[in-house]
Structure 1
């Protein structure tokens, strides 16, 4: 679809772009999403903040499952879509990246600045004293506390946990904060039922206010946490472009929607808009060649319509 790439290149090539990314951008790095084509049905509901903080056994279950699932997240590397976004950012066309993902792959690909709306799985915080440590350090401590703890992992959820039999969970030992001695450790991510810190949200709104274009990549916009930025852009009359596999809850506000694999479309878009700007010198994987995506869906939606903030 050459016309699709041309239309995207014209919009993105004018600069002033703020990217809002979701789980669909990381599926080609081996991290599934919940709602896209690679999403796997989960038998249990995600852990909520309220349950995690109030129920000792629920915390044990979370950390046992997450301890195994973390290995997949830790091994994941940026894909061609992440690297293309970083190229566009280095070229000055993308002003900032707001990501709903907790995998840190935008930063690993070389993007900066990146606002990690929901935090990062590779960081851990003590809920009692506030001390922050790395997930790598916690992983080492959990391995020492649980020698031989292993189980077959069939699928990893986007938030880094796995399904695990109760018998396996029961023998798992949770560790406390080493700084204060007794504090409860939690991954420094926003759980369901928890709110994103207000200053972080305000910063994201400020980025959207100053944007010329909001480019949504790989998000179904199902939850308000990310959709609110689309609604605000629409309210301000800022064009919204959505690239995602499948329909989203923001399609009605978009000037253009494209249904295509991001790992193919974004490198083609970067090639078209910035040409031969080199890829991240730290990347060990060759960039994918340009490909022509399918499924462009122009939408004559209410781009400037009033919407809730």
Structure 2
């Protein structure tokens, strides 16, 4: 089936690539959903709960003490390097990722829109100052030594499955600039993707020959909207992923299985595009 991918890209060389959590599982970062698109664990924190409830923020940041180092230390895998190779050869017009791990950039990808933000930054909800996540993480670790001995299974996006403890004892670090509320600079569930990111991505999609979905079930509307738009524009859609996607009926090509097994040989086999 790799030949089917090569033929698809060769016929549609200006790709709009949309990536999801399946791209990063080989880097040790868990994904949210199973092959049927269902939650593997409890849904992640909701934006409204984080903003309005101190208890939610205490639970989030306490679990982050365990989960964030996994994200911070993750490195690109063969999927990221294959996508970078496609860009280098001239086949990627724009890559839009639903991931917040910045692994595409670490792999050398240049044209990336971080649709849901970036987890390596923390933003103040009051003064909007940006801080390095590693710095805030260390401050919270220093202020909460009693939590240092806890261990838990890593969960997606810097979370951990830490349960059954008293989170009310956790001291949440405030903004070093103004004392305001800190939040990872990512779009939590229940929040909206900034319009300028969506508009920029849609502009790129309109100029593309095809949409290539990699490692996403598309169950979240913020990603699925690009498939809907592509279908309305009669832009072909291919997907490389495991299991069901929300856009299955819209796909021109679906490769179901190990993403790298399809993408890596395909990216290697395609010749560089000749500049016009």
- TM-score class, shorter: over 0.9
TM-score with structure 2 setting the length: 0.93
Q: How many Å apart are 1:24 and its aligned residue?
A: 0.8
1:259 alignment partner in structure 2: 256
Contact 1:32 1:39 in 2 (8 A): no
The total of aligned residue pairs comes to: 270
Q: Can you list the C-alpha shifts for 1:188-238, whole angstroms capped at 9, x where unaligned?
A: 000111000011111111111111010000100111110000010011000
Find the counterpart in structure 2 of residue 23 from structure 1.
21
Corresponding residue of 2:176:
178
Q: Aligned residue for 1:201? A: 198
The aligned counterpart of 1:233 is 230
Summarize the Cα distance change of 1:233–1:75 in structure 2 as closer, same or farther, 3 Å threshold: same
1:151, distance to aligned residue in structure 2 (A): 4.3
Question: Does the CA-based 8 Å contact 2:153-2:162 persist in structure 1?
Answer: no
Moved over 6 A (4+): none
> 1: distance between equivalents of 2:154 and 2:174?
25
Report the CA distance between 1:154 and its aligned residue: 3.8
Q: CA deviation at 1:137?
A: 1.1
Query: Residue in 1 aligned with 2:73?
Result: 75
By relative contact order (CA 8 Å, sep 6+), the higher-ranking structure is 2
Between structures 1 and 2, the one with greater helix share: 2
Q: Is the 8 A contact 2:2 2:263 kept in 1?
A: no
The structural deviation recorded for 1:141 is 1.1
1:81–1:264 contact (8 Å) kept in structure 2? no
1:191 aligns with 2:188: yes
Out of 266, 271, 293, the residue aligned to residue 268 of structure 2 is 271
Q: Once the two structures are superposed, what CA deviation does each residue of 1:79-113 show, in whole Å capped at 9, x if it has no partner?
A: 00100000110111111110001111111111111
SS in 2 for 1:167: coil
Q: Is the 8 A contact 1:24 1:36 kept in 2?
A: no
Output the CA distance in 1 between the equivalents of 2:70 and 2:39: 15
Match of 1:145 in 2: 143
Partner of 2:46: 48
- C-alpha change, 1:165 and 1:247, in structure 2 (3 Å) is closer
1:53 Cα deviation (Å)? Answer: 0.8
In the superposition, the TM-score normalised over structure 1's length comes to 0.83
Q: Does the CA contact (< 8 Å) of 1:33 and 1:39 recur in 2?
A: no
- How much is the aligned-residue C-alpha RMSD, in angstroms? 1.8
User: What is the CA deviation profile of residues 41-86 of structure 1, one whole-angstrom value per residue up to 9, with x for unaligned ones?
Assistant: 32x4321111111111111111111221101111111000100000
Structure 1 unmatched runs, 5+: 276-309
Task: Give the 5 Å matches for 1:4-153.
Answer: 4-13=1-10, 14-36=12-34, 41-42=40-41, 44-153=42-151
What are structure 2's unaligned runs of at least 5 residues?
none
3-state SS, counterpart of residue 156 of structure 2: coil
